[in-house]
Amino acid sequence: MAPIHVHPRILVQLKKTDGTAGDASPAGKGQGMIAEILSTGEEIRCGHVVDSNAAHIAGKLDRFGVQVTRHTSVGDGLEEIAGAIKEMGKRADMAVVTGGLGPTADDRTAEAAAAAAGVPCREDAEALAAVERFFTSRKRPMAPSNRKQASLPRGASPLTNPVGTAPGFRLKIGRCLFFFLPGVPREMKRMLDDGVLPAVSAIPGPNRNTASTRTIVTFGLTESDTGEQLAGFADRFPDLTLGLQVRFPEILVKIYGRSNHSEKLEKRMSEAGNWIGRRLGCRVVCPDGGTMFQAVGRLLGRRGETLALAESCTGGLMAHGLTQVPGSSDYFLFSGVVYANAAKTAVLGVPETVLAGQGAVHEATALAMADGARRVAGADWALSTTGIAGPGGGSREKPVGTVCIGLAGPEKTMVFRYHFPFEDREMNKRVFAFTALDKLRRHLLDNPVA
């Protein structure tokens, strides 16, 4: 990583907060300040719990223009924690540490921080008063073990915890200002908002960078094809970063920007978004991070039109996705999840002769299903899916991954057949559902209301 310059006022502010002098040699990439996160706890270390605290903290700091460059997780061991803190004290300007502030014997973060700072722990009067207040206000007796929570490294300033017993604290170690917070997500989030972010946002300076992210949701190209369509981005927007992420079967195109001039940054982000929009055309489902379900819902809502579904192989996934969106009852009327052939006939009027002659997975069946759903529900549009999601049920003619899709509208009914190369049931259900919804989305875009 290339060394960079941090505006002196930030360092001054960082020094002021705990009154000690810091080493004035931060490193980064032109950001205002660089930060790290440390999560402690056996449950994270051994994989029983996913570390969602780190993502929450990184996201919040990023929006304040503070770039988190590294997350680390270690277990409950004193030496592991102290070792990680020492390393971070050499690399970062600020750090947030979570976990290990509870009352039990395996909570050793304060001790580890003291070891890393080379200072002893001592009972902090302010912290003890806060713990006692917590129990008094809840009319509960304070266990002797809770007294341990008021023992802080010398030089630390306590941070109030309004929703739990563990007071946090802040302490400069090496050149880095550390904020120590509990690991319980609810307490951590509250103290991050109340104690950490105000301290960070109070830091002024013209070099203070704003961070901005834009997520463009696309469907219809593979990740590598999307990347190739966007070749040339780096030359055209050297000040921005492009990232691709798979949210199967959607591909998210992300633009990351950072600047000390937020208006200019937003202008650049918009230019980049438009450039990507021109490159990907109708593959752009949502320019603002939404889902295919939201995109289809918005289009229908704007047109004042309604939708019905007939789902065989997608098994209710389309209906479930559409009804996750608040307000979907304005345009979504009905889905007939017709797994059994008898239900295809009884509910949607698919002729038995078609099912017997052509089979359930066939264009003729998809067509009759879409027509039936549209008619039964009195909808403007209807989509149908019938196919083989697997893992069983495939044949040479109709292998796993085959799907027939029907799209019925006011003027005509169209049918399509696809084969996808997936063996996995869930992947097939998803790719079938998104392909069907995308058919409707693009048809609506191609046929605007007069």
In angstroms, the CA 337 to CA 448 distance is 29
Provide the minimum distance between the beta carbon of 251 and a copy of itself in the complex, in angstroms, as a whole number. 11
Q: HSE of 317 in the Cβ direction (CA atoms, 13 Å)?
A: 22
- CB atoms inside a 10 Å sphere around CB 239: 12
Q: With beta carbons less than 8 A apart as the criterion, state whether 68 and 31 touch.
A: no
Q: Which one, 207 or 312, has the nearer CB to a copy of itself?
A: 312
**177 in helix, strand or coil?**
strand
In angstroms, the CA 109 to CA 98 distance is 9
Q: Which one, 214 or 441, has the nearer CB to a copy of itself?
A: 214
User: Among residue numbers 242 through 271, which ones bind a copy of itself (CB under 8 A)?
Assistant: 242-246, 248, 254, 256
User: Among residue numbers 4 through 63, which ones bind a copy of itself (CB under 8 A)?
Assistant: 29, 41-52, 54-62
In angstroms, the CA 314 to CA 236 distance is 41
In angstroms, the CA 205 to CA 32 distance is 9
Judged by CB under 8 A, which of 211, 216, 269, 444 binds a copy of itself? 211
**295 in helix, strand or coil?**
helix
Would you count residue 404 as binding a copy of itself (CB under 8 A)? no
Judged by CB under 8 A, which of 8, 20, 378, 445 binds a copy of itself? 378
Provide the minimum distance between the beta carbon of 55 and a copy of itself in the complex, in angstroms, as a whole number. 4
Would you count residue 105 as binding a copy of itself (CB under 8 A)? yes
Judged by CB under 8 A, which of 332, 381, 432, 434 binds a copy of itself? 332
Would you count residue 275 as binding a copy of itself (CB under 8 A)? no
Judged by CB under 8 A, which of 17, 160, 323, 358 binds a copy of itself? 323
Which range binds a copy of itself by CB under 8 A, 64-72, 153-161, 264-272, 442-450? 64-72
Provide the minimum distance between the beta carbon of 50 and a copy of itself in the complex, in angstroms, as a whole number. 4
Would you give the DSSP letter of residue 362?
S
**CA 222 to chain CA centroid, nearest Å:** 21
Listed in order, strand segments (DSSP E) in 351-422 are 381-387, 402-408, 413-419
Q: Which one, 13 or 196, has the nearer CB to a copy of itself?
A: 196
User: Among residue numbers 345 through 364, which ones bind a copy of itself (CB under 8 A)?
Assistant: 346-347
Q: Which one, 339 or 352, has the nearer CB to a copy of itself?
A: 339
Q: With beta carbons less than 8 A apart as the criterion, state whether 63 and 127 touch.
A: no
Q: With beta carbons less than 8 A apart as the criterion, state whether 314 and 433 touch.
A: yes
Judged by CB under 8 A, which of 17, 160, 213, 260 binds a copy of itself? 213
DSSP characters over 41-102: -HHHHTTSS--HHHHHHHHHHHHTT-EEEEEEEE-S-HHHHHHHHHHHHHH-SEEEEES--S
Judged by CB under 8 A, which of 189, 298, 425, 442 binds a copy of itself? 425
Q: With beta carbons less than 8 A apart as the criterion, state whether 56 and 185 touch.
A: yes
Q: HSE of 222 in the Cβ direction (CA atoms, 13 Å)?
A: 5
Which range binds a copy of itself by CB under 8 A, 116-124, 200-208, 351-359, 426-434? 426-434
Provide the minimum distance between the beta carbon of 143 and a copy of itself in the complex, in angstroms, as a whole number. 5
Would you give the DSSP letter of residue 121?
E
Provide the minimum distance between the beta carbon of 181 and a copy of itself in the complex, in angstroms, as a whole number. 15
Under rule CB under 8 A, how many of the chain's residues touch a copy of itself? 115
Q: Give, for 215, the enclosing helix (H) or strand (E).
A: strand 210-218
Q: Which one, 155 or 301, has the nearer CB to a copy of itself?
A: 301
Would you count residue 125 as binding a copy of itself (CB under 8 A)? no
Q: How far is CA 157 from CA 8, 168, 422, in A?
A: 23, 9, 56
Judged by CB under 8 A, which of 118, 120, 281, 421 binds a copy of itself? 421
Q: Which one, 56 or 303, has the nearer CB to a copy of itself?
A: 56
Q: Which one, 9 or 56, has the nearer CB to a copy of itself?
A: 56
Would you count residue 320 as binding a copy of itself (CB under 8 A)? yes
Which range binds a copy of itself by CB under 8 A, 13-21, 80-88, 120-128, 171-179? 80-88
Residue 384 corresponds to which tokens in the numbers above?
A: 């149908």
Q: With beta carbons less than 8 A apart as the criterion, state whether 342 and 367 touch.
A: no
Provide the minimum distance between the beta carbon of 111 and a copy of itself in the complex, in angstroms, as a whole number. 15
**320 in helix, strand or coil?**
helix
Which range binds a copy of itself by CB under 8 A, 9-17, 110-118, 219-227, 280-288? 219-227
